[in-house]
Amino acid sequence: MAKSADCIHILQGLLVFGNVIIGMCGIALTAECIFFVSDPHGLYPLLEATENDDIYAAAWIGIFVGFALFALSILGIIGIIKSSRTLLLVYIILMLITYAFEMASCITAATHRDFLTPNLFLKQMLERYQKAEPDNNNDEGMTEGVTKTWDKLMLQKQCCGVHGPSDWQEYMSAFRLTHSDADYPWPRNCCVMDANASPLNLDGCKLGVQGYYHSNGCYDVISGPMNTHSWGVAWFGFAILCWTFCVLLGTMFYWSRIDY
Amino acid sequence: TMVLLLLLLLATAHGLDKLEYIPVLASSNLGGLTTTSTFVLQQPRCVFEGRASADIWLVVAIPDAIHDFNNSLGPGTPERAFQEFPTKAPAYMTLNTTILNYPCPKPPGEITVLRVGSETSCAKDKLRPTCNGPLPSPGPYRVKFLALEGSEPVAETRWSMPITLRTARQPSSIPETGNRHSAGMIALTTILSILFAILLAALLAMLVFGSSDACGGSSTFSKPEAVSVRRYNTHHVYDQPAARL
């Protein structure tokens, strides 16, 4: 009896420790997802225009799951210390529901990250950047979002186009319909600007002289934060779920051993 | 002899100097070397020597027009007007300048180029037939430089190789091949699904078997409050007989 009492105490200790870790990870997940949802790089309009912004939905789910994990871990600790069958049963059921939601969030983030390819952004840029006549209000909102985001990107990150400025030459675009090729081989923001936000040398920019225009593409600048976002949600969630799996199995075993 | 000298003078005065220079596109590290309506040529430095009073013009022509090209048709004529190119005018002349703008030798480190097609303001202005307007189609085009003194052609370069401009494709032709699932995503989905399935099975097992005593066995433990401590009170038993005595 003494030996099994020791075993029980060890199991209790392990489960309490497991729940503490789950609680802390829940808070961390909430913080991380709030950070992603706040869109520090200002890339959300690009996602919104693809009508495929599910990695944001995954982050929103992550916020609430994080809170739920924290609350449930406290419930779990109380249940284990009191060895209460009802509390622990409630804990297990609610944890399984939270588990399912977090699983959905991880899989959504990982799956939708695979849709964000260079060609997707290229097509969107060509079709929407400075589009003169939007079809409806929704379209107008998306067009404005895309235009502003690209202008900001090209200015601040010193890049042009998705693969490079040649994107504007290789493909027809909404931009090309309103800006002639001779005056604007690529948008003005692709030019290196001076302190007054005007091109350093407009002729040099139009000719494509190194140092007067941005010759590299913006894809790295776009995909970097989006990758971090998706993988952060997906893989951190995966790690939490693996740990929670072990704790839940332990709790179920503990529950079945409690005697009334 | 005087007549001979006069004839000689006349001959040299009306002779067209055919120079060996072939116009080429500028160096290829320019991003805008050829666009869909412009292209960039190297300036003809150190080519036209000793013609201080000549105007050097750029002639842009469609390839069919170069075989019987008439140098005497001047820049202002309708057959050489940019606005009629390429339908009624098979060639046009533009970018005229004197040799002072092409000093020889070329200073190192300077970018000396001619951008053909950069003037958009006069492209439709019929009063500006020598406009350096944007080219209407991807080409190909062939160019040469022609030096005119007054209206007399005095020197010309060779015709360039055909220059073809870029053609822009439609964005709808961009393939969207974004549906390939990465290995990481497949692994994540599989592992999570398996773990969830195991948890549900364990929950089921726990509810079905955990409540009954069948599997309880000897390793169940009681709640702390249910454990009772049995105490032996030995003094009580011995005191009784002593009281009776």
C-alpha–C-alpha distance, residues A222 and A154, integer Å? 11
* CB-CB under 8 Å, A107 with B134: no
**Which H or E element spans position B145?**
strand B142-149
At residue A140, the pLDDT reads 87
Residues of chain A with pLDDT > 70, as a percent, come to: 98
Residues of A in contact with B192 (CB under 8 A): 103, 106-107, 238, 241
Residue A200 burial by Cβ neighbours in a 10 Å radius (0-12, 13-18, 19+): middle
């999570």: which residue's tokens?
Answer: B192
Q: Give A16→chain B minimum CA distance, Å.
A: 17
User: Of the candidates B171, B178, B206, which has its C-beta nearest A172's C-beta?
Assistant: B171
pLDDT tens digits along A165-184: 999 999 999 999 999 899 99
* CB-CB under 8 Å, B177 with A259: no
Residue A76 or residue A7, greater confidence: A76
pLDDT at residue B201 is higher than 90 = yes
Mean pLDDT of B185-213: 87
* CB-CB under 8 Å, B171 with A126: yes
Q: Which domains does chain B have, with CATH numbers?
A: 13-167 (2.60.40.10)
Residues of B in contact with A165 (CB under 8 A): 31
Mean pLDDT of B67-73: 85
At residue B13, the pLDDT reads 52
Residue B221 or residue B156, greater confidence: B156
C-alpha–C-alpha distance, residues A24 and A69, integer Å? 9
pLDDT at residue B236 is higher than 80 = no
Mean pLDDT of A136-148: 89
Closest residue of chain A to B119, computed from CA coordinates = A182
Two tokens, residue A39: 């869109």
C-alpha–C-alpha distance, residues A238 and A234, integer Å? 6
C-alpha–C-alpha distance, residues A229 and A56, integer Å? 9
Q: So what's the ipTM on this one? A: 0.85
At residue B216, the pLDDT reads 42
* CB-CB under 8 Å, B35 with A245: no
pTM: predicted TM-score of the whole model, two decimal places: 0.81
Taking alpha carbons only, the member of A18, A231, A224, A245 closest to residue A105 is A231
Mean pLDDT of B14-31: 85
* CB-CB under 8 Å, B184 with A181: no
Q: For residue B131, give every residue at least 6 positions away whose Cβ sits within 8 Å of its Cβ, in sequence order, or none.
A: B82, B83, B94, B119, B122, B123, B125
- Give B222's strand partners: A259
């190789």: which residue's tokens?
Answer: B161
- Sheet-wide strand order for B152-156: B17-18, B152-156, B142-149, B55-61, B91-98
Q: Which of A135-139, B16-20, B33-37, B64-68 has the highest mean pLDDT?
A: B33-37
Two tokens, residue A173: 């675009």
Q: Give B224→chain A minimum CA distance, Å.
A: 9
* CB-CB under 8 Å, A173 with B115: no
SS3 content of chain A, % helix, strand, coil (to 5): 75, 5, 25
- The answer to whether the beta carbons of residues B56 and B96 sit under 8 Å apart is yes
B150: left (phi over 0), alpha (psi -120 to 50) or beta: left
Window 86-115 of A, Cβ < 8 Å to B: 92-93, 96, 99-100, 103, 106-107, 110-111, 113-115
C-alpha–C-alpha distance, residues B29 and B172, integer Å? 29
For the beta carbon of residue A154, count every other beta carbon within 10 angstroms.
24
Q: Give B81→chain A minimum CA distance, Å.
A: 19
At residue A237 the predicted structure's pLDDT band, cuts being 50, 70 and 90, is: very high
**Which H or E element spans position B92?**
strand B91-98
Mapped onto helix, strand or coil, the DSSP state of residue A235 is helix
Q: For residue B154, give every residue at least 6 positions away whose Cβ sits within 8 Å of its Cβ, in sequence order, or none.
A: B16, B17, B51, B54, B147, B148
Residues of A in contact with B226 (CB under 8 A): 259
Residues of A in contact with B174 (CB under 8 A): 119, 122-123, 126, 171
């842009």: which residue's tokens?
Answer: B60
Q: What is the DSSP string of B198-241?
A: HHHHHHHHHHHHSSSSTTTGGG-EE-GGG-------HHHHHHHH
C-alpha–C-alpha distance, residues B206 and A92, integer Å? 11
Q: In this complex, is the C-beta atom of A207 within 8 Å of any C-beta atom belonging to chain B?
A: yes
CA distances from A26 to A23, A54, A207 (A): 5, 21, 54
Q: In this complex, is the C-beta atom of B117 within 8 Å of any C-beta atom belonging to chain A?
A: yes
Two tokens, residue A192: 């290196």
Residues of B in contact with A183 (CB under 8 A): 120
User: Of the candidates A119, A170, A207, which has its C-beta nearest B168's C-beta?
Assistant: A170
Backbone angles phi, psi at A91, to 5 degrees: -60, -45
Strands B91-98 and B152-156, bridge-based pairing: unpaired
**Which H or E element spans position A29?**
helix A2-37
Closest residue of chain A to B134, computed from CA coordinates = A182
pLDDT at residue B245 is higher than 50 = no
Distant-in-sequence contacts of A130-133, Cβ < 8 A, 24+ apart? A130/A174, A130/A175, A130/A178, A130/A179, A130/A187, A131/A174, A132/A174, A132/A177, A132/A178
pLDDT tens digits along B118-132: 888 988 888 888 889
At residue B215, the pLDDT reads 39
- The answer to whether the beta carbons of residues A120 and A146 sit under 8 Å apart is no
At residue B229 the predicted structure's pLDDT band, cuts being 50, 70 and 90, is: low
Q: In this complex, is the C-beta atom of A83 within 8 Å of any C-beta atom belonging to chain B?
A: yes
Residues of A in contact with B208 (CB under 8 A): none
Alpha helices in chain B (DSSP H): 2-14, 183-209, 234-244
> What length does chain B have?
245
Window 23-52 of B, Cβ < 8 Å to A: 29-33, 35-38, 40
Q: In this complex, is the C-beta atom of A242 within 8 Å of any C-beta atom belonging to chain B?
A: yes
- Please give the DSSP secondary-structure letter assigned to residue B135: P
Q: What is the DSSP string of A33-71?
A: HHHHHT-TT--HHHHHHHT--HHHHHHHHHHHHHHHHHH
- Please give the DSSP secondary-structure letter assigned to residue B79: G
Q: For residue A75, give every residue at least 6 positions away whose Cβ sits within 8 Å of its Cβ, in sequence order, or none.
A: A87, A90, A91, A94
Two tokens, residue A105: 């969030």
Q: In this complex, is the C-beta atom of B94 within 8 Å of any C-beta atom belonging to chain A?
A: no
At residue B213 the predicted structure's pLDDT band, cuts being 50, 70 and 90, is: very low
C-alpha–C-alpha distance, residues A24 and B156, integer Å? 82
Closest residue of chain A to B218, computed from CA coordinates = A1
C-alpha–C-alpha distance, residues A259 and A252, integer Å? 14
- The answer to whether the beta carbons of residues A163 and A118 sit under 8 Å apart is yes
